[in-house]
Each structure stands twice: as structure tokens, then as C-alpha cells.
Amino acid sequence: MTMAQRLLCQSPASPPVFSVGAMPVPRPGKGEVVLRVEAASVNPIDVKRAGGYGQRLLKLKGAGKFPLVLGNDVAGVVESVGPGVSAWRPGDRAFGLVPTGKGGAHATHVAVEARWLRPFDDGHDAAALAALPYSFTTLWQSLRKAGIDEHNAKGLAVLVHGASGGLGRLAIQLLTRWGAAVTAICSTASLDTCRALGATSVWDRTRQPLSGLPQRYDAALNFGAWQDEETLIGALEQGALGFASTVHPLLANFDSYGWLGGAWQTGCDLRRCKALATAKGANYGWVVFKPEDEALDALQRLLDEDALALPVGISVPLSAAGQAFAHVARQHPGRAILLPSAA
């Protein structure tokens, strides 16, 4: 029997404790494709989950129990296709999303629903592609929650917190392309990067308190820190479009306060912030990543137009996964990529 390997995160720990374990190569179920994984990214959520974050709520998706196989992004080569799949053949190259709770991309082989994959050719680098689907999909969902789309973005003043990170960089690139004026909040070292990506103005969060932001924004995206949520909502102008956050405390509340306490605290947090946004006339929403066709289609179009990229900071084989996780935990620049098929 041909064997595959996967990165097992044994028990909640920070830094994480890994082992590389053997498993049979998965067989594709109905509607699935098995990929030989060339590249899979390590996102901040992987680092947090390796430390035990989100276990209570994620158990509902079958994604909270250790040992965990993490990873939501994948790029690789189709090895086999399951019943009902006509769009893919062995040897095709594909990139896309592995939903949370469905096996995890940090492995040499993974079974993925064919609908979450898109093709790529030899002109594209698997590592660069694997950096994108999860972050782009989350960005796409954030823009929708904030009420921003390609058709209304032109001329909007949009505030982006966490602008130098993966979601933030994609937000600057996409919003600028759509004609919005982005104010990027980041630390000093990243000011020039955010300007170069297209931000119209920058706000150095390490030198200027966010309480000094003018109240003039049509929309805001918080990819930086939950503790700044209310201050950022305060920077919306009256009659603003909306506000979306990916750094909300949903998972942490259930971890910290249990089922009842977590639900109660989450209700309080959500209502408090929603009330502040509503007082400005703005929509308000928390984003929880989930795979989406529309986002993957948009990503593919933008890649065809060479309109988006995230720099890769580190690429390592599964056996050196700890380095990639440390890279993300220390917020070093560039995305972290695992190369499971590398020797």
C-alpha cells in the first residue's frame, strides 16, 4: 500500500509539538479529488489552534480534538479523482481550500471537495498560490460584511487595521484596484510597504494612538486587534457603510467561559459593538472563514490579471514545520509555507 505522511500536532502546546506520522494515501470520496500536496500554508489560526485555541467550538466541526492535522490552503497535483468528478484528471495542478475539520492540508496527500479547487499552470509557483485562498476568502467575506464590493468601492475611504499582514495586504491591493482610498494602520517598519501596495495614507500605530484617528471613514476592516474594535468603530463617519472584524473573540469566549458563559459574553460583545456601529448608520459583522465558490472564482480572475500577491517569507518541508510556525507566531514578514512533497 502506498503511504502518505501528515504533520500531527500532538497536544495543545506553545510552541507546538509535532510529529510526522504515516497514513495510507486517502481515497477520494464522491465529489472529491486527492491531491499530492506541493505547498500548504501556515496561517495565524494554525498557530493559535496548535496552542489549543478554539477547541470548544471547533469540536462541533470535528476540528477540536488532538492530535490535529492543521492547514486550510493547498496547492498540488491531482493524484486521483472520486465518483462524480469530471473536471479533474490525474496530473492536473490545482490550488484551493481545505475546510476546517476536513483532514487538514499539512500532509503529503489530502482529499478535497472538487468544488474548492481551481486550476493553475506551470507558470505559477505552488508556494505563492498556497499563500492565498484562505486569506483571500476571509478578506472577501470581510468586504461583504462591511458592505463593500467592486461596484460601490470607487471613492470610498476605507480604514484597514492590520494592513501589513496577509489579509491587510490583500485588502489594500483589491480596494485600491477598485478605486477606494485606503488608510493603512500598521507599525513603523511596514509603512513603506503599505504605501507601495497602494495605500493613500498610513497611520503608524506604534507612534500615533488610534484614538486620534479622524471620524471620516466610510468603512473599516479590523484585521489587527480586538481591543481596538470600539476605537475603530469610532472612526467611522456618520452614515458610514459598514465595519467587519476577523479578530473578534467568538472562539476565545467559548474557550474561556464555557458554553453558557461563552454564549452570554459573545452576545454582550456583539451587541455592544453593533450598537456603536448602528449609531453611525453602519452595518457591523464578525467574519468566520468558510469556503466559498464566489471568493475562489474572484481570486482566480485576479491571479489571471496578475493583480494580487502575498510575499512568501519561509518555505520548509514538513520535518521543519516548527520553523514555519515560529515564523508566523513571531509575525515575521511574509507568509509561511510547508512543502510536504519536498524530500
Residue 251 dihedral angles phi and psi, to the nearest 5° = -65, -40
Long-range contacts (CB closer than 8 Å, 24 or more residues apart) made by 22-25: 23/107, 25/1, 25/79, 25/109
Segment lying near ligand NAP (by CB under 6 A), choices 4-12, 34-42, 88-96, 182-190: 182-190
Residue type, 65: K
Q: In the complex with ligand NAP, which residue's Cβ is closer, 8 or 42?
A: 42
Q: In the complex with ligand NAP, which residue's Cβ is closer, 166 or 242?
A: 166
Mask 233-272, x = binds ligand NAP (CB under 6 A)?
-------------xx-------------------------
Whole-number Å distance between alpha carbons of 213 and 235: 6
Whole-number Å distance between alpha carbons of 276 and 97: 34
Whole-number Å distance between alpha carbons of 273 and 266: 11
> In DSSP terms, which residues pair with 95 in a beta bridge?
75, 118
- The residues, ordered by sequence, that sit 6+ positions from 286 with a Cβ below 8 Å of its Cβ are 145, 244, 245, 246, 248, 250, 270
In the complex, the smallest distance separating the C-beta of residue 205 from ligand NAP, rounded to whole angstroms, is: 5
In the complex, the smallest distance separating the C-beta of residue 98 from ligand NAP, rounded to whole angstroms, is: 14
By CB under 6 A, tell whether 45 contacts ligand NAP.
Answer: yes
By CB under 6 A, tell whether 103 contacts ligand NAP.
Answer: no
In the complex, the smallest distance separating the C-beta of residue 92 from ligand NAP, rounded to whole angstroms, is: 28
Residue type, 147: G
By CB under 6 A, tell whether 135 contacts ligand NAP.
Answer: yes
Half-sphere exposure in the Cβ direction for 39 (13 Å, CA): 23
Among 138, 176, 183, 253, binds ligand NAP (CB under 6 A): 138
Q: In the complex with ligand NAP, which residue's Cβ is closer, 221 or 302?
A: 221
In the complex, the smallest distance separating the C-beta of residue 288 from ligand NAP, rounded to whole angstroms, is: 5
By CB under 6 A, tell whether 164 contacts ligand NAP.
Answer: yes
Q: Which residues contribute to the site for ligand NAP (CB under 6 A)?
A: 43-45, 135, 138, 162, 164-168, 186-187, 190, 205, 223-225, 246-247, 287-289, 331
